[in-house]
């Protein structure tokens, strides 16, 4: 076996060991993923002086991670910059366990944006706290 092959083998084993460690300790365990609650504002709700509209929201999984995701529309007649969505994370008891944010630098009038916020592994519920941005005339 060459040094290069041995190194690849060792790194693969190390990666597997790290994954198993985190899986055993619940870091990658999302048993609640199918039942993730998304106490978000109702689609169509207004934010920031009626500039933004939440069209839809959902929980989304990918490669052992879970996300709060959805679509936001700039319903103003102005270009908006630094648009961001702030999301709070809660555990089973309802205690806040963290928060997250996603943003887009520009959102043209009528344009939609698909946001995606990585959830805290302890979260069983999430809620959009705020959607904001700077809209210029």
Span 104-134, pLDDT tens digits: 999 999 999 999 999 998 899 999 999 999 9
Residue 33 near residue 126, CB atoms below 8 Å = no
pLDDT exceeds cutoff 90 at 14: no
Q: How confident is the model at residue 5 (pLDDT cuts 50, 70, 90)?
A: low
Task: Output phi, psi for 117, to 5 deg.
Answer: -115, 125
Shortest CA distance to 40 belongs to which of 52, 54, 51, 53? 54
Q: Contact at 8 Å (CB) between 60 and 91?
A: no
Cβ-count burial of 129 within 10 angstroms (0-12 exposed, 13-18 middle, 19+ buried)?
middle
**How high is the pLDDT of residue 40?**
43
Tokens matching residue 86: 């702030």
Would the pLDDT of 48 be above 80? no
| Architecture of the CATH domain 29-136 | Sandwich (2.60)
Q: Say what percent of the chain tops pLDDT 90.
A: 51
**What pTM, to 2 d.p., does this model score?**
0.65
- Structure confidence at residue 63 as a pLDDT band (50, 70, 90): confident
What's the pLDDT at 64?
Answer: 81
Residue 123 is classified by DSSP as -
What mean pLDDT, rounded, does the chain reach? 76
Alpha helices in 2-133 (DSSP H): 3-24
Burial of 59 (0-12, 13-18, 19+ CB in 10 A): buried
């Amino acid at each position: 076996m060459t040094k290069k092959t041995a190194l690849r083998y060792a790194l693969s084993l190390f990666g597997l060991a790290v994954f198993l460690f985190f899986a055993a300790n619940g870091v990658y365990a999302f048993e609640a993923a199918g039942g993730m609650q998304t106490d978000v504002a109702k689609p169509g709700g207004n934010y920031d002086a009626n500039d933004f509209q939440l069209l839809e929201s959902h929980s989304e999984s990918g490669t052992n991670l879970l996300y709060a995701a959805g679509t936001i529309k700039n319903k103003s007649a102005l270009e908006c910059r630094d648009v961001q969505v702030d999301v709070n994370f809660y555990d089973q008891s309802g205690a806040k366990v963290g928060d997250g944010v996603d943003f887009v630098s520009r959102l043209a009038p009528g344009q939609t944006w698909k946001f995606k916020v990585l959830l805290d592994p302890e979260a069983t519920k999430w809620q959009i706290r705020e959607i904001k941005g700077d809209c210029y005339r």
